[in-house]
Structure 1
Amino acid sequence: MRALCLYLLSFSSPETEFLSYCLCKSAMEDTSRTQTSIIMRRSIYTFLKNYHYFTTIAALLAFPYALSVLLSQFFVPFSPLLPAIHTHLRAIFMAAEFPPSSNFFTVLSFKISQTISSSIFALPFTLSFFLLSKASIIHLLKHTNPNSPSSFSSISSLYRPLFSTFICNFFVLLAANSTAFSLLFLGYHFVNGFGFSLSPDWLAFTSAAGAVVYSMILANAIIVCNLALVSSGMENSGGYLAILRACVLIKGRTLSALALAVPGNLALAAIEALFHYRVVVRAYGYRSGGDFSGFWMALEGVLIAYLYSIFVVLDTVVSSMFFKSCKTGSLVDREGRYCYRIEIVAEKDGNAYVKLKNIEEFP
């Protein structure tokens, strides 16, 4: 397929150029799908190869975080934090003159309020157990053939770069949400200037376009943040440099990253829905005077939380395999290129003395 594309590009007619573009695009999409399936199979193989370690040490470290996320469904609806955040978001949307009759902005403000409240509730466990679990997985997968389990000292050595990257990820997500709201604000007022604000079709179009724009921006930001966490552990360098490194590595691989991230997030959302149906709803029924077995419900909740922690571990394994694939791809892209850097060593009598370094001599 690649040889056929190069052969067609040797002709200059518009028809052959268009055909070669279609063939090259199809080949790139096939390659992307192939790489995604290879990374997924490799991740599952790595998980099964180190099954005992991932299901004991890594999963138990992630268990308190998973339990806090699931238990937030109990406490967040009754906490005063949720209505306070929701009221402030509604005030911001009203100040931006977003259409109050749009269901999209109503649902969006409520879901963001729920997410922020749940994140605040689980924040102590996120900064401790969640990052330690990721550190244990990343340390095991740093080598090509992971065999020996990680010690606590080696895991704790990766905690600091992961922590600094997690703090920077918070500002990246905040900037992504601000950018999305700014684009929605500009788009709304741009179209509103033509006098379409009272049309029901315009409201439906605004809701659909806003959902697509917000989802695309937030999905790309989350992918970069997850890859930055893995990068900070693999390279032992956290902070904003890990985020910049993730942005460079993910260039041209966004579709593969989305294809790898969607199954894990869908699984986690399904487990949260299962916990809500099997535990939260039954607990509310007990408060209303229904039949209730506290021990079995608590045991079922613990098992669901453990299942949630298993998928958190598997998601980290997939992200680590994707990072290794990106690193390998970036090294392959550099083959056949001569990369140099010119440094000014000194300047005397108007003459500059320079020094030429190749890529192997870069710091």
Structure 2
Amino acid sequence: MEETRRILRRAIYAFLRGYQSFTSIAVLLVSPVSAAVLFSQAMAPSSSRMMGTIQARLDALFAAAGLPATSDLFSFLNLKFSQTIVSFVLTLPFVLTFLVLAKASVIQLVCGSSRRKEFPPSLPSILRLYLPLLQTHLCSAFVAISANAAAFSLLFLAFNTADALGLTSDRLILCLSIAGAIVYSVLLANSLVACNLAIIVSGVENCGGFLPILKACALLRSRAATALSLALPTSLFMAAAEALFHIRVIKPYRAANRLTPSLIGEGTLIIYIYSLLLVLDIIVSCMFFKSCKLASESDCELGCSYSSGFASKADKKDAAAACVFVRSKLLEQQ
């Protein structure tokens, strides 16, 4: 927890130090994404045709897989999963354009070397990172889909094994459902954390595709708990902003069936707050990446000192040179 607090303090300090640049990014690049996310989540329940089609397909899929599709837990999971799919489809164009550009800008400000840190970052430097970040974003979406598929495969095996053994009591089905929900949440959370870190790796090292995801998984070794604890605060605040938008904007609009100046003002303010939270989440990921790199450097130095008593002179020289190289690269990124 101490490391989590330290990273959060550094992220807030970096945000306040570059407040004007980060708020400009939030207004110009992130606010269209925030508006799309908030309105898509509000529109998802009313999109009866699309929602009905997706829910019917998921019900058929659950029934074919032998899952208890009629249980309350799987009905709720079906509803939320359908809303997530609708929101993902509606916001995808904004995410692949505005959000990727915003992440490139924030990475340039936070993780760029002292020679490249510009307030605000130049347009060519942002566009240079766009293609690698876009490739990593698409690969991360594939990883998230794969994590969902893996979780549902485990549920399929668990429920069909229980059915084959004749263990079909309501209490056992409930226990399996709860355990499945926990496993699903853990798998999805870890995959999202790895994908978020992969975006930062892609921006800092200017590489795209699945390679940043592999590097992010290597950096996350024995640090997954820290990554999850860092993702929790911003996720809770963003969920609170989504609920506030639904209560203060969507419900009054549906009740009155017209827009008022107060609704427009409150909606704009909530969208701005949501945009700031998204920017802060990217900054936290950047600070966590720096912490992981420093930890990797420490491990490298420990390995060098450990091998000094057993390695030959040539091996010692190579190990020392590697440590110096890693340290110089880290100093450039500070």
Cα distance per residue 1:21-79 (max 9 Å; x no partner): xxxxxxxxxxxx22111111111111111111111234431000000001113432333
For 2:157 and 2:58, the matched residues in 1 are separated by: 18
Question: Which residue pairs with 1:98 in the alignment?
Answer: 67
Are the aligned partners of 2:44 and 2:87 in contact in 1 as well (CA < 8 Å)?
yes
| DSSP-derived class of the 1:337 partner | helix
1:172 corresponds to: 143
Pair 1:272 & 2:272 matched:
no
**How far is the alpha carbon of 1:200 from its aligned partner?**
2.1
Partner of 1:88: 57
Question: Which residue does 2:308 correspond to in 1?
Answer: none
- Is 1:190 the counterpart of 2:161? The answer is yes
1:144: Cα distance to partner?
A: 5.8
Q: 2:67 & 2:162 partners in 1: Cα distance?
A: 12
SS at match of 2:74: helix
Aligned to 1:312: 278
In structure 2, what is the equivalent of residue 350 of structure 1? none
Q: Distance in 2 between matches of 1:235 and 1:218?
A: 25
- 1:40 maps to 2:8: yes
Aligned to 2:328: none
Alignment TM-score, normalising by the size of structure 1: 0.81
145-154 or 240-249, which moves further after superposition? 145-154
Q: Does the aligned pair in 2 maintain the 1:132–1:159 contact within 8 Å? A: yes
Counterparts of 1:293-308 in structure 2 under 5 Å? 294-308=260-274
Contact 2:21 2:119 in 1 (8 A): no
Q: By how many angstroms is 1:299 displaced?
A: 1.9
2:25 to 40, 45, 57: 57
Contact map agreement 2:40 2:91 (CA 8 A) in 1? yes
Corresponding residue for 1:76?
44
1:330 aligns with 296
Q: Distance in 1 between matches of 2:130 and 2:167?
A: 52
The total of aligned residue pairs comes to: 311
Match of 2:97 in 1: 128
**Closer, same or farther: CA 293–123 of 1 in aligned 2, 3 Å:** closer
Q: Does 1:156 align with 2:164?
A: no
Equivalent in the alignment of 2:310: none
Unpaired segments ≥5 residues, structure 1: 1-32, 340-354
SS, match of residue 158 in structure 1? helix
The amino acid that maps onto 1:295 is P
Distance in 2 between residues matched to 1:225 and 1:293, nearest whole Å: 38
Instruction: Write out per-residue CA displacement over residues 96-118 of structure 1, whole angstroms, 9 at most, x where no aligned residue.
Output: 01113321211111111100100
**1:212-361 map, 5 Å:** 212-287=182-257, 294-338=260-304, 358=318, 360=321
Give, in angstroms, the shift of residue 328 of structure 1: 0.7
Offset, 1:194 = 2.6
- Structure having greater relative contact order (Cα 8 Å, sep ≥ 6): 2
Answer 1 or 2: which has greater helix percent: 2
Q: Which runs of 5+ in 2 are unaligned?
A: 306-313, 326-334
Give the aligned residue type for 1:300: E
TM-score (norm 2): 0.88
Q: What is the root-mean-square deviation in Å for CA atoms of aligned residues? A: 2.1
**More deviation in 74-83 or 204-213?**
74-83
Identity of aligned residues (%): 45
Separation in 1, partners of 2:266, 2:26: 21
Q: What per-residue deviation string (whole Å, max 9, x for no partner) do you get for residues 90-149 of structure 1?
A: 111010011133212111111111001001101111011111111100011123665642
1:119 to 83, 88, 93: 88
Q: Does 1:142 align with 2:111?
A: yes
Higher strand share: 1
Q: Is the 8 A contact 1:103 1:207 kept in 2?
A: no
Return the letter of the residue paired with 2:2: T
Larger deviation: 292-301 or 251-260? 292-301
Amino acid at match of 1:167: L
